[in-house]
Amino acid sequence: MTAKISFTLNGKPWTGNVHPLKRLLDTLREDAGLTGTKEGCGEGECGACTVFLDGQVVMSCMVPTCQAEGKKVTTIEGLVSDGDLHPMQDCFIQEGGAQCGICTPGMIMAAVAYANDPDSAEDMREALAGNLCRCTGYTRIYESVKKAMEKMSVSEIR
């Protein structure tokens, strides 16, 4: 049984016919064609599937699509503005914060949320504690986030 579900996806209206309990992760990848959001564990443990739902960080593998009805969903693709990468995306490239890339979109979303609201966590490590990476050893990830936060001006925080 599918149902018509509508939400704002990266600033644009989106409507699809999906099972209300289909994971938001799958709806984004399969129905909306946005494959930037990755699946790691599928159990809410790794953070690879992190997106924003009404500006809040959520694990999209744990969110039924019906919960997004009428809300704003932002994915890694939504961080690009007028074709320009977000400073966080840029810095992950420049500082080698990504290797296999599976954790990277979720890591960047969590890092942007922290950069937008540094009071949301004790420090960067705590802010990213829900996002697991099995490749980089984290040092380059932390360097990437640090550099991006130095570069980000108020107008770039979105």
User: How near is the Cβ of 64 to ligand FES at its closest, in Å?
Assistant: 13
Contacts with ligand FES by CB under 6 A lie at 39-42, 44-49, 59, 61, 98-104, 133-136
User: How near is the Cβ of 107 to ligand FES at its closest, in Å?
Assistant: 7
- Closer residue to ligand FES in complex, CB, 103/111: 103
- Closer residue to ligand FES in complex, CB, 15/94: 94
Q: Which of 95, 92, 124, 115 is nearest to 105 (CA)?
A: 92
User: How near is the Cβ of 26 to ligand FES at its closest, in Å?
Assistant: 11
User: How near is the Cβ of 70 to ligand FES at its closest, in Å?
Assistant: 23
- Closer residue to ligand FES in complex, CB, 42/156: 42
Half-sphere exposure of 45 (CA within 13 A, CB side): 4
Six token digits for residue 129: 């504690």
Is residue 134 helix, strand or coil?
A: coil
Identify each DSSP E strand in the chain by its residue range.
Answer: 3-9, 12-18, 50-53, 56-59, 72-74
Contact 54, 36 (CB under 8 A): no
- Closer residue to ligand FES in complex, CB, 85/135: 135
Six token digits for residue 71: 């809300």
Beta bridge partners of 18: 3
User: How near is the Cβ of 155 to ligand FES at its closest, in Å?
Assistant: 29
